[in-house]
Structures are given as C-alpha cells and as structure tokens.
Amino acid sequence: MIREAKSFNREAEKAEKKLEKLVKDYRSTREDFNQLFSEIEGKRETSTAKVLDRIPDLKRNIPREEWAKAFKEGKQMKP
C-alpha cells in the first residue's frame, strides 16, 4: 500500500511539471489541460483500486487486537 502511494505521488509530481509547462505555453488549449487532468484522474483511480484490493490481505494478516489498538490510537490523535 505504501509503495503504491509513493508511486502515485511520483506520478503526481510528473503531472505537476507537465501542468507548469502547459501554463507557461500560451499555445496550450483547454483540451491540453483536460487531457492532463483526465490522465491524473485515471492514475488516481487505478492507484486507489490497487490499495483497496489489498485491504482483505491486510485484515487477514493483522490480529483483531492490533486493529482495535490502531483505531483506538487513531481516534485519540484527532483533535
């Protein structure tokens, strides 16, 4: 899951650089921007699906006590 998130973040950084180039290029069209945003959204959806597909494995490999502790600690961290 962490590797997938890091991979998506690297792709997002590449997309950010492409966006900067489009903004600086006065010949960029609305379609250029729409295509870039569509690519980003597609990669986000793919990455999210990969992470969600791994949740059942995560649940099988972590004892119930650890889940309870993790969620208890998570609730305490919220202000």
Q: Where are the domains of the chain?
A: 2-77
pLDDT tens digit string along 25-71?
999 999 999 999 999 999 999 999 998 998 888 878 888 888 788 77
The whole-number pLDDT of residue 64 equals 80
Give the whole-angstrom CA distance, residue 57 versus residue 51.
Answer: 11
The residue that leads in pLDDT, 77 or 41, is 41
Is the distance from CB of 59 to CB of 1 less than 8 angstroms? no
The structure tokens listed for 50 are 């990969």
* Report field, pTM of the whole predicted structure over 0.95: no
pLDDT tens digit string along 64-75?
888 788 777 656
The structure tokens listed for 35 are 């295509």
The structure tokens listed for 60 are 């099988």
User: Please, what is the Cα angle at 66 between 60 and 69, to 5 degrees?
Assistant: 145
